[in-house]
Structure 1
Amino acid sequence: MRPLKLVMSAFGPFASTQETDFSALGTNPLFLINGPTGAGKTTLLDAICFALYGKTTGDEREGSQMRCDLAVDSLLTEVTFSFALSDIQYRIRRVPEQQRAKKNGDGYTVQKPEAQLYRIDSDCSEHLLVASKVSEATAEIEQLTGLDADQFRQVMVLPQGKFRELLMADSKDREKIFSQLFQTQIYRKIEDKLKFQASAIKAEVRDHRNRRDGILHNIELESDEALNAELAEFSPKLTQAVESKEKASLVFIDANKQFESAKLLTNDFDALEKLQQSAAVLDEQNQAIEQDRARLESGQKAQQLKPVLDVSLSREKEVAQAQDSLARIQSAKQSSEQALALSKTKFDSLAELDVELQRAQNEAQKLIQLEPQLQGLDGLQKSFSQATGERDQAKEKGIKEKGVLEVLAAEKYAAEQRISQLEQGASEQVNAQQAVTVQNDLIERYLQWQKASIESSHTEQALKQAKEKGQQLKSRFSEAQTSHRQLQLIWHRGQAASLALQLSPGLPCLVCGSVEHPNPAQSEEQLPTEEELQQAQRIEELANEALNQARADYSGLNTQYQVQLKQLDELQQRIGDSCTQPIESLQSQLQELQQQLTKANTAAQQLIQLRKQIQNWQSKERDLQTELDAEREHFQKLQNLVSSLKGQVEQASAAIPDQYRSLDVLKNAIRQANAHVTALHQSINTIRQSHTQALEQDAAQSAALASALSNSAQARELSHEAHAELSSQLSSSGFSDKQALTHALLSSEVLKDIADGIANYQQACIANQTTLTQFSEKLDGQVRPQLIDVEERVATSQAELQAAEHSWQLIQSRVTQLVQTQKQLNDADSQAKKLEDEYAVIGTLSEVANGQTGNKISLQRFVLSVLLDDVLLEASHRLQMMSKGRYRLIRKEERAKGNKASGLELEVEDAYTSKVRPVATLSGGESFMAALSMALGLSEVVQAYAGGIKLDTLFIDEGFGSLDQDSLDLAIRTLMDLQSSGRMIGVISHVSEMKEQIGTRIDIIKTAQGSETVIVLP
């Protein structure tokens, strides 16, 4: 990662917006971040780390605590950081939670945290990757850089006072960091995959063994030998049962054939009886069919005369319609004559209305001429009223502003008196915050210890209950197993008695074949049914499953309990003697500290607000005085305007009559006059239009009356002709009159139904006679059989067949069960052999990869140890240079005690003593040189490995002050060598020699209004 630009607003000691352009420092620069104590040198690194991860480099302050107290309310605290990963540029903006001024109104509101992340293409186009959520932005940064916040602080930033962390990290922590840097997670996945596969195969082998035992248990046998012996015993019994079943089947088939033949003959006799009954019914229907033939004939004749009848009826209807139309038109003619007479009377009075119209128009014109004069008067009156109101308002406003100015001066004086008091209270803010943080951490650890203690007690109780439950379930399983085996024993002993119950005199025995049964077997015990045996087996299986589940639950609880005890011990060590105090005491102490912090925070906030308020009051005081002077001048101008407008109003009022001094009254009078004129116009036009319409309507009714008289005469003539034609047709067709024709007339559908009914009857008669003749000839000489005797023979043979099949099924079922079991056992043995062979390979690989053999080093840790050796080779080269050949970093080969992770610990080889000792024994300056060498070596090796994370930037915060002059020169020379290989190195230091030897700087200038950044180039 390479920094490009950092923009900070109201962040840390920087009250305004500060922009630091790293690209201006040159290519692969070695630069110094320089400034006095407290100016904000480390804040630059905090801003970079906060922009990326939402945390500072020291992780000692939250983002919400980074707002500058000197910043103006309108400036939001935020950090924008632009950086490059390989050839791709990104920009991230992050805003912490803070109090900001409301956009509308006074007071403050909470600004929620937010973050935006952009990718910037080569054409400068931007793509939004994260819109707002801070968690999504942090996750995306971790994905892009391959590092989380802690890892970033350890490999790219050596924070002030924490440069030993990477050097002193144990194997577990160093494995986590290196796996991210070198992206060796694939080896961890291989370890987990092999372990999972080995466990799965091992579990399958165990399951196969249990399944094999279960297979034998299901058929109530103890071994493969018992299975083979029982198969040999049942083989001849099965052959004999098959022969008996086949013989009984032949007897049953023959009896069934005889029954089917008798049944068919009986059906034929039944069919003959039904045909004879149908013939009698058809004879009874013959008279009704003859009547239908007569109706069909008369209906067909009437259908031929229907067109003539329809014409006659239509002509009669037309005559009635013509008479009705003539009556309506005659009535309308009388109405039109009356309307014409009334219209003529109104038309003669139009002269008087014309005179009235002229008079109304003159009156309306006079009123319209008064409106402009009245509007001018109204405008003058409004201007006068408005000017008077503005004058009074200006006077009142001046009085109020003078009062506000006096109050403001008094408040400002009182606030200035409180400044010193608040400054003393705010000075305790930092100490109170640290005390609250420490107490909060203590309470949190105390609550964790308390919760862990309760959980372990609950788990211990649950463990006791699980043990008791397991003992109860074990007893139940033993009882169920004993009960099941007793029922099986009784069932086996009673099989001879069960077969004896099926013996009948004269029938062969299913076992020996004898037809005589002198001494059949008997049982004194109540034999269990198959359902009872299955129920007992099911109860035993359920009890076994419950017992196995209880054992698994107990094992899980025991493991959980041991883990909880270990966690409880660790937590108790962290809180120390505080575990003897009640939580209320700790919380009471916290409340006291919080009250002190709240008091200090309130004082600090009030101090800031009060200072800002005083500034605002001073500004308002100047503004109010200016406004008061302007208001006095404005009042005098308004007073002069009021006097002028008063004279103009009095002059305009004299020219307008009193009753029309109101514009609304005048406009209403004009509207009434215009409405009167409009009404007269409408009356005149209405009378003229009505008279014209009356003349036209009367002429139209006269023409309609003449046409109606002609149509009525023509309709009567046509009706007479149609009636004559109908009478002629009735006489020739044999109908007495029109009523007889109408009675005989049927629809086409009815005629068709009658014809179809006659045809169907004829076909039914023919079919009945033909079938009756056939059955009579077929049954000639036959006798109806007796089905009862035949059915009895079928039932007897069927019962014998069922008995034979039942005997065969019992034997066949057992043989099938034994054969299937034998196959299942063979398959299980074959599969178990394959699994055991597979586990011999996978299990061995898993043990080696997961560090369970030899030196107990896992595959990933082995790979990382090789990479660490490369890192230490580079680091030792630089450390030897800075320590003048004395120290060399090496990897500890000795295995750690117990189960502690090992293989990645560091030691230092001292050339002066020729001994190897822990890195923790190095002094402060030596530790700094070793940590610096480690960071530089790590950067070199990560860069060299394909697929690794690119570490082309390093920030070092202090630490050089612990070096002597020679070591300092060597360290600076080392940094310059690293710069020449393509790295950006940023150094924070107070050492004057650093400033002399490093010409490129970012100077932090500290002022009373906040710090500022300046780039200095050589």
Structure 2
Amino acid sequence: MRLHRLDLTAFGPFGAAQSVDFDELSAAGLFLLHGPTGAGKTSVLDAVCYALYGSVPGVRQSGQGLALRSDHAAPGTRTEVTLDLTVAGRRLEITRQPPWERPKKRGTGTTLDKAQTWLREYDPVAGAWKDLSRSHQEVGEEVTQLLGMSREQFCQVVLLPQGDFARFLRADAEARGRLLGRLFDTQRFAEVEKRLAERRRTTEARVREGDADLLADAHRMQQAAGHAMELPDLSPGDPGLAQAVLTAAAIARSTAREQLTVAHCGRLAAESAQAAAERELAEARELARLQRRFDEARERAARLQERADAHEEAQERMRRARKAEAVAPALELREAADAEHRRAAGAEAHARARLPERFADAGAAGLAAAARRAAEELGGLEAARRAERRLAGLSAERADLERQERADQEVVEEADAWLAGWEETRAALQDRIAVAQEAATRAEQYAAQREPAQRRLSAARLRDQLARDTEDTAERERRARERVLEAKEHWLRVRERRLNGIAAELAARLQAGEPCAVCGATEHPAPARKDAGHVDREAEERALAAHQEAEAAHDEAEQHLSTVQRALAAAEAEAGDEPTDRLASAVEELESRHARARDAAADLHAASEELRRAEHERERRTALRQEAAVRSASRGSRREALDEERTALESELVQARGDADSVAARAAQLERTAARLTEAADAARAAEEAAERLKAADGRLDEAAFRAGFDTPQAAADALLDDTAHRELQRRLDARQAEEAAVRAVLAEADTATAARRPPVDLAAAEDAARAAAERLRRAASAQDAAARRCAELDRLSARAATGVRQLAPLREEYDRVARLAGLAAGTSADNERRMRLESYVLAARLEQVAAAATARLHRMSAGRYTLVHSDDRTGRGRSGLGLHVVDAWTGRERDTATLSGGETFFVSLALALGLADVVTDEAGGVRLDTLFIDEGFGSLDDQTLDDVLDVLDALRERDRSVGIVSHVADLRRRVHAQLEVVKGRSGSVLRQRGH
């Protein structure tokens, strides 16, 4: 990857558009990015990272989105970053615009524009740029695939953060593991450890669950077997659990089968005794039944003899009733004729009572003739009846016309009354619509003001919070600065004391006969001696380390203070000087006004609908009024025609109705007279015919009674029985006959007579004996059933336990295998001698490669003194694999990298960073990295070491790389000619570029 050009607009501290020509800077191979503290050197690197990945490095991710925008930019200028680079042989141009709040084009306030991304590629054949994508996701995937590195890896191998690698040298194994894990993506090995641990827990739980089920089955077998099974004290996980359970189950099954055999024999004996008792009870019951049967038969014979006279009377009554049945038809005929004669006579008397007196003595023929005369007169009134009905119709039609006239008059009056208030109603509704429209306009205005006001209130609250945070952060920065001064003063005092006693320190190394390292003499007559306050090298290095830690803490506090101050400035620019409570009151008032306007505007639709309905009602009522006027005009001529027809009909009806009130009344009078005469004639004829039939029935009845042997017809009638009495008497006679036959049959039975001659039987004793035998059988059967259930339950539980044991065997083997693998991967197994986790093992191999690559450059930087080596010694918590030591060729000793001095730490961490860049590049698939940046750390080097380091960096050009040094060290400006200077000003920072 080679950078060609970077364009910035309104990004970070750069308010105006800025450009960086990396091709010009990279021509010398080594270029310097310098400027005062806070000018924006790191922001240039942030812009490169943002263009590639859409986000800035991890420690500065709080500046994403709207916070990336420069506070010095003009309101209408949008933040934009454009990067021109070559990667994997392709010339690409990436442009990114973060989201920003721009002024609205119409009205006041701001609106939020979304982030945008463009990716273009240069076509050398066409000599022009072509668009590839405008999707954030597609551009991000394309860049990541081409570079072969994530954002974290890119920030470690291209933007070399020296502070991170200095901490890496002093970090423990866990911290190193986290960093290396992000760079080399060893999460899959951690997932393997996790999966093995989860599988171990799962199989262990299944084994314990199986043991628990087996132990539960053993307790169930013990409960089923009662006292026949003894189970030792066992718990899930015990080695001999399965064997103990199966052995105890076998003993319990054998005992249960013996108990079942004994219970079966007892039941057979009880069944034989119970059968004998049941036979004896059956014989006793049969004898008792026969004796009772004989006694009951004798009692029934005695009762029959007592009722013999009543039986003879009943037989005589039945004989007379059968003789009277021959006279019954004549009696029924005479009763029917008599009833018919009485009805006919009553009907004739009733019909004659309704006739005038002149018809009292008329016969049936005279009454019929008078009825015919009345019917003929009624036929002559038919025409007059039609005229009378027509007259009634005319009256109804005339009344209907009057009713219609009144209804139309009411319609006209109601329409006139409603239309009289129409103008006032329309004006009121139009006023309501105007008020609602005005409220809707106000609601839109308030809605447009709500978002800026709420955003300003949020900024004011953030401003207040940041103001408090600024005070706290400034106080922490002041204390950190004081600690830096104290630590530096302490280090200088310790260094001065050591230099004062350096002679004693050198004398301590003198050996008799060996030349002095200072003067070369082999005799040492008066070597200097250490006084009580002597300070050695280790004490000086500890003081220096404390000073460096204080400086790092101060830098972090200063950076945090700068971040908070920038955020406070942004919040103050957004919120202004207005107090928060006043802004909150203004927002609340604006919300209240908006709510009231919105409620008033809600009436717009209802008022419009009501006006539409009122206009429709006006049109309807006007149409009804016109229709009513037309109908009223057409009814006048109809009334005149009806009046003329009515006069003609009334003169005709006067003659037809006579002295009656109406023709209909006259006709009704004639109809009633004809009907009554007809009814009376019919009734007279029916009475004459009924008298003749009654006379004939009396003659037939006398003759039938004489032939049946009765003196009078009344005697025959008294001897008759109705159906109920006849059936009851016959039933009594049949029952008497059946009872006599049954008694004779019982008394003639041989078994019954023989049983009657035997002594009375003792049935209660036989029943007691049978109950006792049945109880003994029930207890024996219950004992056998319990023994059988016990055997079945023990067999079932034993089979289940045996199945569980068979299923547990492979599960135990799986658990043992998985537990061994999980212990090895987690570093907790005794087989893992160095207690090294799987992920740590992989990372240790990577760290060993990084140390080898770093040593190649560290030799040159340290003039062959230092070598980085990987160590797998155990560290905290007994783990190992991620140790990093430095071998000092001057002393021949190997020590931890945390003991390096400040300058040593810098060039060792630089070598480590360059070595890590090479390894990660190879890991990423050999992507060529032609541009590197090294951020700070050169101020801790002396001149000789700085020359060595620059030689190493300059040698990177052998691999056609260009290296950018980010530093404010003044001496580097003389040594590095290609420079990019960041100049800080009140209106924002600007970039000045100088080539070689």
What TM-score do the two structures reach when normalised by structure 2?
Answer: 0.44
Structure label with greater radius of gyration: 2
What TM-score do the two structures reach when normalised by structure 1?
Answer: 0.43
